[in-house]
Amino acid sequence: MMLKRLFVLAFLFSFSSFLNGCATDEAGDKAPSPAVTSPEKANADKQSTEKPSAEKPSEAAKKDAAPSPAPEVVQPSPTEVSKQETVEQAKPLAAPAAASQDFTGELEKVYFDFDKSDIKPEFREMLAKDAEKIKQNPGTMVVIEGHCDERGTAEYNLALGERRAMAVKKYLSSLGIQEDGLYTISFGEEKPAVPGHNEAAWSKNRRVQFSRE
């Protein structure tokens, strides 16, 4: 009886061992086999890992290649523009140059008798009016021109023209005109006012007239 029990236990132990061995084999059969990689593919993968990609530059390269930003143009504010316009408007305008007016053409001519240099009474009143016009234009150099008719020599007429101009200058000076503002010159018979060889022409050429220097 004892022998029968031992036989049964041995049979159960053997059967249990048999079942465990089958399960282990099945588990081993189901485990995935390791992947087999060829030498060429392994080298290619290694080179791909070691070689940096040309399509992906580094961050430093990106910063160097990036264009520098354009300088910012600062526009003046409306307040600053208004202040500038106010300053420009406050600047004084340049004074226009004083118009240079030649008044000597308004002064009366003085006529003389033949071979004379004294001023006749009727022309003294005219010279008094001329003196007032000269006083209204201070700082102007007035030229007193002495003229003669064609009779006589050129030298004599130049001297006679000078005496006539000096007579007018002295008379204007007696009326309060500064002599340093009066300049005399004689043209003699060189510049007749009226052409002709008669008394009508000669009487218009024996004269003193004024001009501006």
- pLDDT tens over the chain, length 213 residues: 565 666 666 666 666 665 555 444 554 445 444 444 555 554 555 555 554 444 454 555 555 555 565 555 556 565 565 556 554 555 444 433 343 567 777 899 999 999 999 999 999 999 999 999 999 988 889 999 999 999 999 999 999 999 999 999 999 999 999 999 999 999 999 999 999 999 999 999 999 999 987
Residue 195 burial (10 A CB sphere; 0-12, 13-18, 19+) = exposed
Domain of 153? 104-212
Q: What is the CATH number of the domain that holds 117?
A: 3.30.1330.60
Q: Are 185 and 145 in contact (CB under 8 A)?
A: yes
Residue at 127 is within a domain:
yes
Q: Which residue in the block uniquely carries the two structure tokens 């240099």?
A: 117
**How much is the pLDDT for 32?**
46
Looking at the domain assignment, is residue 136 inside a domain? yes
Q: Which residues pair with 186 in a beta bridge?
A: 146
Phi, psi of 84, rounded to the nearest 5 degrees? -65, -40
Spatial CB neighbours of 159, under 8 Å, sequence gap ≥ 6: 186
In this structure, is residue 132 part of a structural domain? yes
What is d(CA 202, CA 189) in angstroms, rounded to the nearest whole number? Answer: 10
Evaluate if pTM is beyond 0.85.
no
3-class DSSP state of 143: strand
Element (H, E) at 5: helix 2-30
Is residue 69 a part of any domain in this protein?
no
What is the reported pLDDT for 140? 86
pLDDT value, residue 36: 46
| Number of domains observed in the structure of the chain | 1
201 in any annotated domain: yes
pLDDT computed for residue 64 by the predictor: 54
